Chains A and B, each alone.
Chain A
Amino acid sequence: MAEQPYMVASDSETTGDDKSQSAFHDLAIGIEVGTSKCSIAVWNGARVELLRNTRKQKAMRSFVMFKDDMSSGGASNETAYEEKEILSGSAIFNMKRLIGRADTDPIVHASKSLPFVVQTLGIGVKPFIAALVNNVWKSTTPEEVLAIFLVELKTTAEVQLKRLIRNVVLTIPVSFNRFQQIRVERACAMAGLHVLRLMPEPAAVALLYAQQQQQQSLHESMGSGCEKVALIFNMGAGYCDVATTATAGGVSQIKAMQGFTLGGEDILKNVLYHLLPNFDSLYSIRDTNKIRSMGLLRIAAQDAIHKLSTQSSVQINVDLGDGTKVQRVLHQSEFEEVNRNVFEICEKLIKLCLADSKLAAEDINDVILVGGCSRIPKIRSLVLGLCEKEKEYEGMDALEAAVTGAALEGAVASGITDPSGSLDMLTIQATPLSLGIRVHGGGFVPIIQRNTAIPVRKSMIFTTAQDGQTEALIVVYEGDGKMVEENHLMGYFKVTAIPPVLKGTAEISVCMDIDAANTLRVFAGAMMPGTDRAVSPFFEVRMPTLDDGHGWCAQALVKTHGSALDLTTIPKELQPQKVQ
C-alpha cells in the first residue's frame, strides 16, 4: 500500500476540486454499476460527492450503444439517447445480470426477452450476445460491454477530478459468485482500472450507516455509543440483497448476508407477460418493427410500475404499432398478485438472513431500505412488517447509499484520514457462502463456513480414501449444499508425495485463506502423521482456477479418476482445531 497521502490542513478553505488535485492522487473512487443505473462517488476531503455527467445526471443509465464503428455508453455526454433508442436492439444493457454466467443459467434464459440477442446453446459456455448494427447482429460479450462502459465512467471522473483514476471500489451484489467477481475484475482491467475492493452492496451501505451513527454519537457526545443492529434490504433492478449488521463505535460488523438474482427486471417481466400473455410467441422473430413494439411495451410497463409506487391504479395506453393495442387499467392489487413470487422470495431472504444472524425482529434497531425497488409499497410494508417496525431508517438516499459507501471504503482503504473523524470507521465483512472441498462419495465439507468474518484462515486435516494412495485431488467448491453438485466448482489441484500408507492414516492438511480484498487462496500438502511437519513443499493455489461456472470439469474428473484420488474427513476429535 502506498504511503499515507499528504493531508490538507483543516483550516484551508479550499474547495473539493483543489484538494483532489493535490492530495488525493491515489484515492480510489466508488463506482456502482447497477443493472439499470450507475453512479460514481468520491471522497472530496470533507464528504462524499457524487459525480454528475455533462447532462447533470447523478444516476446514469447503464448501457452501451453500438454504432457503425464505435460504441458509446450511457455515461457519455455526446448524445442523450432516448429510452426508445436504447430498446432498439442496438444497445446492450443489463450486463450486470449477464456477466459471468453460463448459457445454462436460468437468468440468461430469462434475458431472452430483452431487445438485443441472447443466444444459448445450453452447454455451459458463455452466452452469445449481439447488438443490431446496420441491420446486422454484431456479437460482443458482457465483459466487453462492461469494460466499454467503465472506460466512459473513468473518463467522466477523470475530466471532473482533473487527475488520472486508477483505483476503484466497485459494489457487487451479495449473490455474485467468485466467477462473476473475476469477470468484473477482468472488465475493470480491460478498462484500465485496478479493483481495490469488490464490495457487496449491503456492506457498503453498512459502512455509510456506521459513519452516520458515529457522527451522531459524536454530536451527542456519547463516546463510542451503544451497539445498534440494522437490517439492510437492498433491491435494485437486478439483484436483491439482505444483510444484518451490528454497529458500534464506527465499526460495522456484518453478521449475515443473503442475496438472490431478483429485482425490478423480474417485476417488469412479470408485468409484461401479464399485459401480453402471448409475449414469447409474438416476439419469437426479431425484426426492426417487432423490436420497436417490444420497446414501446417495455417503456409503458416501466412507467406504470413507477407510477404504482405512489398511486393505487394506473392507466396503460400504448399502441404497439403493429395493430396491437394495450389499453387497460392496472391496479395495485393486480400488480401485487402478478409479482407474488417476487415478494415471496424477498420474504424468504429476510427470514433466512435473520435466522443466520440469530436475530429476532425485536433485536433490530433500524431497517434500512435502499435500491430502486424499495420504493414499491408492497416491498416496504413487507420488510417493515417482518422486522416489526413502524418506519424505516431515515437519512439515506435509497439510490445513492451504496455508491456513497463504496466511496467511503475507497477513501479508508486508500489510507486517507479525516481530522473531523468522518473517516474513522470500518466494515468487517463476512463471506456470504461456505467454502470447502469435495470428499469421497461426492460430499461437500465446508472449511470456511458462511458468514465468517474476513480475513479468515482455517485449516482442516483430511486423509486418503485408498490404501497406498500417493496423490490426492483437492477439488474446491463454493456454496451451501451438502453435495458438491449443488455448489459452484472453483477449481482443483493435485497434492502429491503423500506417504503410501493404509487408508485413513495419511494426513493431508488443507488450509483456506481469504484476505480483506476477498481473494481466496488454498494451501494444501501432506503431513507426517502425528506431527505438524510437511512431507514436501505445500501447494498454494489462488482460486478460482477455472473460467466457467459450470461443474462439468468435476464430472470429467470423476469419470477419469474415479475415487482413486479421493480424500475423506477424519474424525472430528483428531482435527487440530479443537478450539473453534
Chain B
Amino acid sequence: MISCSRNPGVFAFSMPDKPGKVDHIFHFRSTRITTVYNARSRGAATGIRCCGGKKGREDCVPRNYYELLGVSTDSTPQQIKDAYRSLQKKHHPDIAGQKGHDYTLMLNQAYRTLMREESRSRYDTACGRRSEWSGSKYSGLGYSSWNGPLRSQALFVDEHRCIGCRECVHHASETFEMDEAFGSARVKVQFGDHAKNIEVSVDSCPVNCIHWVDAEELPLLEFLVRPQPKQAYGVFGGGWERPADVFAAAKSLKKQLKEHKEKKRNRDRKGDAEIEPETTAQTKARYHASMKLQFQELLQMFGRLGEFFVAKESKEK
C-alpha cells in the first residue's frame, strides 16, 4: 500500500519575489533547461548566445527567464517590472561593479523578452513551457490510496468543515485518520474497512462533512483541500490558505485545466509550425557544407581546378 503524497520538489521553484532565492533555483533547474537547449540547439536558443572569447560555454546556457527574474510564469507585466527593477538594483554594474555585467545582461534580455506580449508567448513556446497557473502544483494524484477494486465513488472529507470529533476514525480506523496538525479527519485508504463500518462513520459525522464523490474528482478535491502556501510580500502575507468551498474550487480548477490543455495543444501546433525554418534546399546546402568541410583537401583541389578553368576561359576569350 503506497500512499502517494505531494511531490516535495515542487515547492522549491514556486517562490517568486525573493531575489535571494534565485541562485538556488538555478541549480535546481539548470540541467533540465540544458537538455531543452541541446535538443533544439538551433531553434530554441535564446538571444544570450555567447561568442567564445573568455567566457566558458557553461555560462552560455540560457537560463529560464522567469526563474532569472524570480517571477512565476503567469505573472503580470507589472510584477515582472518590479522584479526586474529590484534585481537591477542589486546587480547593476553601477552598484555591484563589473561582476554584475553578465547577470545584468541576462536580466535585460529576460525583461525585453517578457515585457512584450508577442515575444513572451514565443519564448514560452520555444522553451516548451506550459505557463504555470494557480493549480501548477497539482500532480493529478490524490492523497488517499485504494483498497480493493477501483470504484466510481470515493470518500472525501471536507477538512475545512470537519470539527475534529474523531467519530469517523473511531468507527472505521483503517479508512480514516486524524491529521493532528490541522485537527481534522481525512481519508487514508479508500474502502479500508467494511462497507458497513464506513456507512456508520459517514452517518455519525455531526457536521456531515464526509461526502461520497466521483472517483475522478477525488484527486482534485484532495489536492484543493490541503492548505497551499500563499505568496508573501516582504514580511506581510504568506502562510497557508485553502478554499472555503472546496467543491466550487474543484469545479473551477477543472475548467481551468481543460482550457489550459486546449491552449497548450494549440500552441504546440503553432510552435511546431514555427520551428520549421529550413527549407529542403537549405537543409541540403547545409549538409553539403558540412560534407565539404570534411573533404577540405579535395575542395582545395577543386578550387585550384576552378581557378584553372577560369584562367583558361579568359584566355580563350
Contacts and interface: CB of A to CB of B under 8 A. Distances in A.
Interface of A: 1, 197, 224, 227, 248-251, 253, 409, 412-413, 415, 424-428, 452-459, 468, 499-502, 504-506, 509-511, 513, 515-517, 523-525, 528-532, 534, 537-538, 540, 571, 573-574, 576-580
A579 B122 contact: yes
7 smallest CB-CB distances across A and B, nearest first, come from A573-B277, A1-B97, A516-B93, A511-B51, A577-B47, A505-B289, A538-B52
B75 interface: no
Nearest to A409: B94
Contacts, number: 161
Contacts of A577: 45-47, 49
A248 B51 contact: no
A244 B187 CA distance: 60
Interface stretch (B66-74, B172-180, B248-256, B278-286): B278-286
Query: Which among A428, A454, A517 has the greatest number of chain B C-beta atoms within 10 A?
Result: A428
Nearest to B287: A530
Contacts of B122: 578-580
A501 B98 contact: no
B71 to A, nearest CB: 15
Contact of B292 (A457, A501, A504): A501
A529 B112 contact: no
A457 B277 contact: no
16 contacts: A248-B82, A249-B82, A249-B85, A413-B94, A428-B88, A455-B93, A455-B104, A468-B306, A500-B300, A532-B45, A571-B282, A573-B278, A576-B42, A578-B122, A578-B126, A579-B45
A580 B47 contact: yes
B239 interface: no
B92 A530 contact: no
Contact of A456 (B50, B105, B123, B306): B105
B97 A415 contact: yes
A580 B119 contact: yes
Interface of B: 41-53, 81-82, 85-86, 88-89, 92-95, 97-98, 100-101, 104-105, 108-109, 111-113, 119, 122-123, 126-127, 274-275, 277-278, 282, 285-286, 288-290, 292-293, 296, 299-300, 303, 306
Contacts of B44: 578-579
B284 to A, nearest CB: 10
Contacts of B43: 578
B159 to A, nearest CB: 36
Given A455-B105, A574-B282, A523 B86 contact: no
B93 A505 contact: no
A502 B89 contact: no
A529 B290 contact: yes
A462 to B, nearest CB: 12
A504 B285 contact: yes
Contacts of A578: 43-45, 122, 126, 274-275
Contacts of B290: 528-530
Contact of A500 (B50, B93, B126, B299): B299
